[in-house]
Amino acid sequence: MVSLIELENLSKVYEGESEPVHALRSVSLTISEGDYVAVTGPSGSGKSTLLNIIGGLDTPSSGKCVVAGRNLPALGDYELTRFRRTFVGFVFQAFNLISDMTLVDNVALPLYYAGVTKRERTERAVQALQSVGLAKRARAYPSSLSGGEQQRVAIARAIVHNPKLLLADEPTGNVDSATQDRILGIFDSINTSGRTIVVVTHNPVVAEKARRVVQIIDGVIASCSGPLPSL
Ligand SMILES: Nc1ncnc2c1ncn2[C@@H]1O[C@H](COP(=O)(O)OP(=O)(O)OP(=O)(O)O)[C@@H](O)[C@H]1O
Ligand SMILES: [Mg+2]
Is a pLDDT exceeding 80 seen at residue 229?
no
219 pocket-lining for ligand 1 (C-beta < 6 Å): no
Residues contacting 192, CB < 8 A, separation 6+? none
Per-residue buried b or exposed e for 67-100, using 16+ beta carbons within 10 Å of the residue's own CB: bbebebbeeeeeebebbbbebbbbbbbebebeee
Residues contacting 222, CB < 8 A, separation 6+? 41, 215, 216
pLDDT at 230: 46
Is a pLDDT exceeding 90 seen at residue 16?
no
- Using the atom order of ligand 1, give the atom closest to the CA of residue 216: 21
Q: Which ligand is nearest to the CA of 23?
A: 1
pLDDT at 227: 57
Please give the average per-residue pLDDT across 198-205, as a whole number.
95
| Number of residues that this document lists for the chain | 231
Q: Is residue 149 classed exposed, middle or buried when 0-12, 13-18 and 19+ CB atoms within 10 A define those classes?
A: buried
Single out the residue of 92, 57, 49 nearest to residue 218, CA to CA.
49
List the Cα angle 116/117/118 in 5-degree steps: 120
Q: Tens digit of pLDDT for each residue in 34-53?
A: 999 999 999 999 999 999 99
Q: How far apart are CA 89 and CA 132, in angstroms?
A: 15
- The model's pTM: 0.94
Distance 129 CA to ligand 1 centre (A): 32
Q: What percent of the chain has pLDDT over 70?
A: 97
Residues contacting 171, CB < 8 A, separation 6+? 91, 92, 93, 151, 155, 183, 199, 201, 206
Please give the average per-residue pLDDT across 94-100, as a whole number.
93
**Mapping DSSP to helix (H, G, I), strand (E, B) and coil, where does residue 140 land?**
coil
Q: Return the CATH fold of 3-96+164-224.
A: Rossmann fold (3.40.50)
Is a pLDDT exceeding 50 seen at residue 140?
yes
Q: How far apart are CA 74 and CA 103, in angstroms?
A: 36
Is a pLDDT exceeding 60 seen at residue 228?
no
Q: What's the chain's average pLDDT?
A: 94
Instruction: Parse the chain into domains and list their residue ranges.
Output: 3-96+164-224
Is a pLDDT exceeding 50 seen at residue 207?
yes
- Using the atom order of ligand 1, give the atom closest to the CA of residue 49: 18
Q: Which ligand is nearest to the CA of 39?
A: 1
